[in-house]
């Protein structure tokens, strides 16, 4: 019986996936075999992408949330003509290869986002879809007219983040978001019935989604379901595709054994024989399959050319619109400039200063969008004069994430990697624990996401130890490529926002105070935040390095010691990462050569020995907080000028 070229394409993906996993002796072959039919239908009939210009703004976004099945994505990208070679497939999971065990963001290769931790991809895709909806409302469908397609598995839907994100996507009616669910009913431990028996379609219907079903191995049925989802733009769509994991494997189809281990040579031989694949053929692609995919990709290339023509015609007739597009897609360097109320001698919480800075930036940076996890009045994140981003007002810039920190973090990543927007999300510092998976992925992806974390120490007061961060600064600083910025006053807060917005190779966490802090006289010291640390007050006997609210406390302690004839250098160190990126000469100019070093921070002292050395003094809080007014807490935890001076006096002898 003659196979259709479509069937040959499906079989090719299955063969490439089996070969690559077997050669690496590592990987997850079951999902690519089970979803190959769905992948071919989506990529050849619906998805609009162009391998000749992988990053054109109006391309469809494809997210493989069940990233363990990465060989499905790599096979599709290779066959579609993206710059992913056969040698790359052969080097699956090897050092230096772009075909990592789980997809790692590389838009130039067609990999839109990093996935692997289950549910993160789906939640990031909600952010991508929200970005499309916002930009579509601003510029119209002739410039913004793409969809976000997601493959997700049982594990993605078990993770709580998927419920948070899907709930918000339904509320926002993100009708150009389509999720194809690999309903194979198998997880690592065995059948999903061991732990997962809910009505998934019913759950998503309750979220406000259109829910559809299809036999995942019936390509006509899959195409019909995708077509129905595409036609309904009033709500997001979930298509539950009933599949068999490791479809076609003679003894391992439908078995948990095929989830995360190579099938073995005998099983592969049996699978290939059953699908009519010549014995001994490995890593081969029939020219007819390449032509089949090339024809499908030509559709995307034509769509891209048509988009460029529409853009050029519109911008020729509308120079202001062209300038606005550039403001979104090609923003220049962010500069805050003078902000009213930031005069030295006044007092202002850095969270309040941040709110003023956001609104100062909102005009020149129209692509700045974001919001809070139901804490906007406390986080000070609202953009004045802008409506909320809702299903009836997608042009709004204020996102109401609700009490959904997990989803908010991933959605902010989606907003930030989509292009055209800079996304921020906010919550209390202590709840950065709920953001951590998304923070880590943002750092891994080099996504320029911004996270506003307020109520940064025990001095938030009566809410007590459940809400008072202790270990959180140390935990955040432990994430590679995440820059953690804790400004000392309103002026440093403005510079912190500049630092975050001008950083394009990774995320930034802005750590801000609840309590008022004195606005420091930083005349002649502007720009210090950009270098991570700088000298606020010179001295010759010792150096005291502080961050955030403790900088003004350090200055107070220096005054106490000065009355005794001791000369204390005070250094503000708002960002470790930026400081340690400076050359050694600059670091020594700040810390001094031969000066004894002490640190002061209202949190865990863990990690400060990196800066103060073996003989240094690290002042902080290495226990949980307590519920009391901030003034009493400052006394009890030794966070007064007199108490800090006493500790320094004893240390210096």
Structural element, H or E, at residue 454:
strand 450-454
Question: So what's the pLDDT on residue 279?
Answer: 79
The answer to whether 276 and 15 have CB atoms below 8 angstroms apart is no
The answer to whether 396 and 389 have CB atoms below 8 angstroms apart is yes
Q: Among the residues of 349-489, which ranges form H helices?
A: 350-362, 376-379, 405-418, 432-445, 472-477
Q: What is the mean pLDDT of residues 296-307?
A: 98
Question: So what's the pLDDT on residue 8?
Answer: 97
Fold topology of 529-652? Rossmann fold (3.40.50)
List pLDDT tens digits, range 518-541.
999 999 999 999 999 999 999 999
pLDDT band at 402 (very low <50, low <70, confident <90, very high): very high
Q: Indicate where the chain has its CATH 3.40.50.970 domain(s).
A: 5-302, 347-518
- Residue 568: beta bridge partners? 542
Question: So what's the pLDDT on residue 341?
Answer: 86
Fold topology of 347-518? Rossmann fold (3.40.50)
Say whether pLDDT at 2 is over 80: no
> What is the pTM assigned to this prediction?
0.98
Distance from C-alpha of 486 to C-alpha of 172, rounded to nearest angstrom: 33
Q: What is the mean pLDDT of residues 587-601?
A: 96
Q: What is the mean pLDDT of residues 320-339?
A: 94
Query: 487 versus 337: which is more confidently predicted?
Result: 487
Sheet holding 422-428, edge to edge: 398-400, 368-372, 422-428, 450-454, 508-511, 483-485
Question: So what's the pLDDT on residue 46?
Answer: 98
Find the Cα–Cα–Cα–Cα dihedral 566, 567, 568, 569, rounded to 10°: -170
Q: Indicate where the chain has its CATH 3.40.50.920 domain(s).
A: 529-652
pLDDT band at 327 (very low <50, low <70, confident <90, very high): very high
In degrees, rounded to 5, the angle at the alpha carbon of residue 498 between the alpha carbons of residues 492 and 503 is: 125
Distance from C-alpha of 249 to C-alpha of 243, rounded to nearest angstrom: 13
Task: For residue 503, give every residue at least 6 positions away whose Cβ sits within 8 Å of its Cβ, in sequence order, or none.
Answer: 448, 483
The answer to whether 572 and 525 have CB atoms below 8 angstroms apart is no
Fold topology of 5-302? Rossmann fold (3.40.50)
Q: What is the mean pLDDT of residues 252-276?
A: 96
The answer to whether 68 and 116 have CB atoms below 8 angstroms apart is yes
Q: What is the DSSP string of 123-175?
A: HHHHHHHHHHHHHHHHH-TTT----EEEEEEHHHHHSHHHHHHHHHHHHHT-T
Q: What is the mean pLDDT of residues 200-213?
A: 98
Q: Among the residues of 467-549, which ranges form H helices?
A: 472-477, 490-501
Say whether pLDDT at 1 is over 60: no
| Closest to 71 in 3D by CA, of 42, 107, 98 | 98
Task: For residue 105, give every residue at least 6 positions away whose Cβ sits within 8 Å of its Cβ, in sequence order, or none.
Answer: 111, 112, 113, 114, 417, 445, 446, 447
List pLDDT tens digits, range 411-422.
999 999 999 999
pLDDT band at 76 (very low <50, low <70, confident <90, very high): very high
Say whether pLDDT at 3 is over 90: no
Distance from C-alpha of 497 to C-alpha of 513, rounded to nearest angstrom: 15
The answer to whether 459 and 514 have CB atoms below 8 angstroms apart is yes
Question: How far is C-alpha 106 from the geometric centre of its chain's CA atoms?
Answer: 14
- Residue 369: beta bridge partners? 423
Question: So what's the pLDDT on residue 518?
Answer: 97
Find the Cα–Cα–Cα–Cα dihedral 597, 598, 601, 602, rounded to 10°: 170
List pLDDT tens digits, range 137-157.
999 999 999 999 999 999 999
405 is catalytic: yes
Question: So what's the pLDDT on residue 356?
Answer: 98
Question: So what's the pLDDT on residue 221?
Answer: 98
Residue 138: Cβ within 10 Å count: 19
**In the chain, what percentage of residues exceed pLDDT 70?**
100
Annotated catalytic residue: which of 159, 257, 405, 495? 405
Say whether pLDDT at 292 is over 80: yes
Q: Please give the sequence-ordered ranges of beta strands (E in DSSP) within 529-630, or none if there are none.
A: 534-537, 542-546, 568-572, 597-600, 617-619
The answer to whether 381 and 396 have CB atoms below 8 angstroms apart is no
List pLDDT tens digits, range 163-180.
999 999 999 999 999 999
The answer to whether 107 and 82 have CB atoms below 8 angstroms apart is no
Q: Please give the sequence-ordered ranges of beta strands (E in DSSP) within 24-118, or none if there are none.
A: 61-64
Question: So what's the pLDDT on residue 284?
Answer: 96
End-to-end C-alpha distance for the chain, whole angstroms: 92
Question: So what's the pLDDT on residue 97?
Answer: 98
Average pLDDT, the chain: 97
């Amino acid at each position: 019986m003659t196979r259709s070229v479509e069937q040959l394409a499906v079989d090719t993906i299955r063969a490439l996936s089996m070969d690559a996993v077997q050669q690496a002796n590592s990987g997850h072959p079951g999902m690519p075999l089970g979803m190959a039919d769905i992948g071919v239908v989506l990529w050849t009939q619906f998805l609009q992408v162009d391998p000749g210009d992988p990053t054109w703004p109006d391309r469809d976004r494809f997210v493989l949330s069940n990233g363990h099945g990465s060989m499905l994505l790599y096979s599709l990208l290779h066959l579609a003509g993206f710059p992913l070679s056969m040698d790359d497939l052969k080097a699956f999971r090897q050092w230096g290869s772009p075909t990592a065990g789980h997809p790692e963001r590389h838009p130039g290769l067609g990999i839109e986002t990093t996935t692997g931790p289950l549910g993160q991809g789906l939640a990031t895709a909600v952010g991508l879809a929200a970005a499309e909806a916002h930009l579509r409302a601003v510029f119209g469908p002739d410039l913004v007219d793409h969809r976000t397609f997601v493959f997700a598995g049982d594990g993605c839907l078990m993770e709580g983040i998927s419920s948070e994100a899907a709930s918000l996507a339904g509320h926002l009616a993100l009708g150009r978001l389509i999720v194809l669910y690999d309903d194979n009913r198998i997880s690592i431990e065995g059948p999903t019935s061991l732990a997962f028996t809910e009505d998934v379609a019913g759950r998503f219907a309750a979220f406000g989604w259109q829910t559809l079903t299809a036999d995942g191995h019936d390509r006509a049925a899959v195409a019909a379901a995708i077509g129905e989802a595409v036609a309904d733009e009033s709500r997001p769509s979930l298509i539950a595709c009933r599949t068999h994991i490791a479809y076609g494997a003679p003894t391992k189809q439908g078995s948990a054994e095929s989830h995360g281990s190579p099938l073995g040579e005998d099983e592969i031989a049996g699978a290939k024989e059953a699908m009519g694949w010549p014995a001994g053929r490995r890593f081969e692609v029939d020219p007819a399959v390449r032509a089949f995919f090339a024809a499908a990709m030509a559709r995307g290339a034509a769509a891209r050319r048509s988009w460029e023509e529409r853009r050029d015609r519109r911008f020729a007739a509308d120079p202001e619109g062209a300038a606005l597009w550039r403001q979104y897609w090609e923003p220049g360097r962010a500069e805050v400039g003078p902000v009213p109320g930031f005069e030295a001698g006044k007092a202002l919480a850095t969270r309040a200063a941040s709110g003023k800075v956001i609104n100062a930036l909102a005009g020149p940076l129209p692509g700045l969008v974001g919001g809070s996890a139901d804490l906007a009045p406390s986080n000070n994140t609202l953009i004045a004069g802008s409506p909320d981003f809702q299903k009836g007002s997608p042009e709004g810039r204020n996102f109401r994430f609700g009490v959904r920190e997990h989803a908010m973090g991933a959605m902010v990543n989606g907003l930030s990697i989509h292009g055209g927007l800079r996304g921020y999300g906010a919550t209390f510092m202590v709840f950065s624990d709920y953001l951590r998976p998304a923070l880590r992925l943002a750092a891994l992806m080099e996504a320029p996401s911004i996270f506003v974390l307020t109520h940064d120490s025990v001095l938030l007061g009566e809410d007590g130890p459940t809400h008072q961060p202790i270990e959180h600064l140390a935990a955040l600083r432990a994430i590679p490529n995440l820059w953690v910025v804790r400004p000392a006053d309103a002026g440093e807060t403005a510079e912190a926002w500049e630092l975050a917005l001008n950083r394009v190779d990774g995320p930034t966490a802005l750590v801000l105070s609840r309590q008022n802090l004195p606005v420091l006289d930083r005349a002649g010291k502007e720009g210090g935040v950009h270098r991570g640390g700088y000298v606020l007050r010179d001295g010759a006997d010792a150096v005291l390095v502080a961050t955030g609210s403790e900088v003004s406390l350090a200055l107070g302690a220096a005054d106490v010691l000065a009355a005794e004839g001791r000369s204390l250098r005070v250094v503000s160190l708002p960002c470790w990462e930026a400081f340690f990126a400076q050359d050694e000469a600059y670091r020594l100019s700040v810390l001094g050569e031969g000066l004894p070093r002490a640190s002061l921070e209202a949190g865990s002292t863990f990690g400060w020995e990196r800066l103060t050395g073996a003989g240094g003094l690290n002042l902080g809080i290495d226990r949980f907080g307590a519920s009391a007014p901030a003034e009493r807490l400052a006394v009890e935890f030794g966070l007064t000028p007199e108490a800090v001076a006493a500790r320094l006096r004893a240390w210096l002898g």
